[in-house]
Amino acid sequence: MKKVYPDAKAALDGLLFDGMSIAAGGFGLCGIPELLIAALREAGTQNLTVASNNAGVDEFGLGVLLESRQIRKMISSYVGENAEFMRQYLSGELELEFNPQGTLAERMRAGGAGIPGFYTATGVGTVIAEGKEVKSFNGRDYVLETGIVADLSIVKAWKADPSGNLVFRKTARNFNPPAATCGKVCVAEVEEIVPLGSLDPDGIHLPGIYVHRIVQGAHEKRIEQRTVRQRA
């Protein structure tokens, strides 16, 4: 099965349709699939439901899909770094399903593992639990959360081999592995494709069985919050 594609547009060819759901890896601007996001913007696919920790920042990352009004709903943990995200949500233009961060990660992991739902104590007694089943185990209440299964996963990795085995770079791993597993189809963009057999099997973070398409490219890697010390 040929998994390597020449560019992001080609890697998404035949996978996109209006109203689809997408699980996107990344955290802020760290480890985001920026090339695939740009290709989604160019494709113009509409009414997207996107599960991602946040929506990047204004004018970069998933923020560009908000600006183009391609996203109908976000399933996220945080909106604070994106003014357009906040504006659309507060004005009622964008549907938002808030998730505690660990719950969102587990919803993706559960979906990828074939687990339709799980109980967690996080969110009990808050708006997070409204409309959801609550059960008591050993005297403590837990709320039922459902696993996420997306039509498409888009993720960013450091290295891949032609079989799709992925290695992530330090904290850029973040949401990428669970996002990758919960998509019916997973497309990964990487910085380097190495020869088959050159990756240490013990160092592979995501097996190629989860990855259907790969594209290599150059990445901008913006810094979300640049902090420097004052000179003495």
Listing DSSP states for 106-170 in one string gives: HHHHHHHTT--EEEESTTTTSGGGTTS-EEEETTEEEEEEEPP-BSEEEEEEEEE-TT--EE--G
pLDDT band per the 50, 70, 90 thresholds, residue 231: confident
pLDDT on residue 123: 96
pLDDT on residue 224: 77
Strands 134-137 and 117-120: unpaired
User: Nearest CA to 20 among 59, 58, 65, 60?
Assistant: 65
Interval 178-190 mean pLDDT: 98
- Please check whether residue 55 is in contact with residue 34, taking contact to mean a CB–CB distance below 8 angstroms: no
Q: Among 56-60, 124-128, 190-194, where is mean pLDDT lowest?
A: 56-60
User: Nearest CA to 48 among 57, 59, 37?
Assistant: 37
Interval 55-64 mean pLDDT: 91
pLDDT on residue 221: 77
Q: And the tokens for 201?
A: 């099997």
Report d(CA 211, CA 130) in Å as an integer. 35
Whole-number Cα distances in Å, 136 to 5, 12, 33, 82:
49, 44, 40, 37
Please check the confidence at residue 220 and state whether its pLDDT lies above 80: yes
pLDDT on residue 230: 81
The average confidence (pLDDT) of the chain is: 95
pLDDT band per the 50, 70, 90 thresholds, residue 227: confident
pLDDT band per the 50, 70, 90 thresholds, residue 226: confident
DSSP-derived 3-state class of residue 172: helix
Interval 154-166 mean pLDDT: 98
Q: Among 55-64, 113-122, 163-172, where is mean pLDDT lowest?
A: 55-64
Q: Domains for the chain: give ranges and CATH numbers.
A: 4-110+148-216 (3.40.1080.10)
Interval 16-44 mean pLDDT: 97
SS (H, E, C) 7-71: CHHHHHCCCCCCCCEEEECCECCECCCHHHHHHHHHHCCCCEEEECCCCCECCECCHHHHHCCCE
Please check the confidence at residue 216 and state whether its pLDDT lies above 80: yes
Per-residue pLDDT of 123-157, as tens digits, reads 999 999 999 999 999 999 999 999 999 999 999 99
pLDDT on residue 121: 98
Q: Global pTM?
A: 0.94
Q: Indicate if the alpha-carbon torsion angle 3, 9, 13, 17 is positive or negative.
A: positive
Interval 8-16 mean pLDDT: 98
pLDDT on residue 1: 75
Share of residues in the chain with pLDDT > 90 (%): 88
pLDDT on residue 28: 87
Please check the confidence at residue 213 and state whether its pLDDT lies above 90: yes
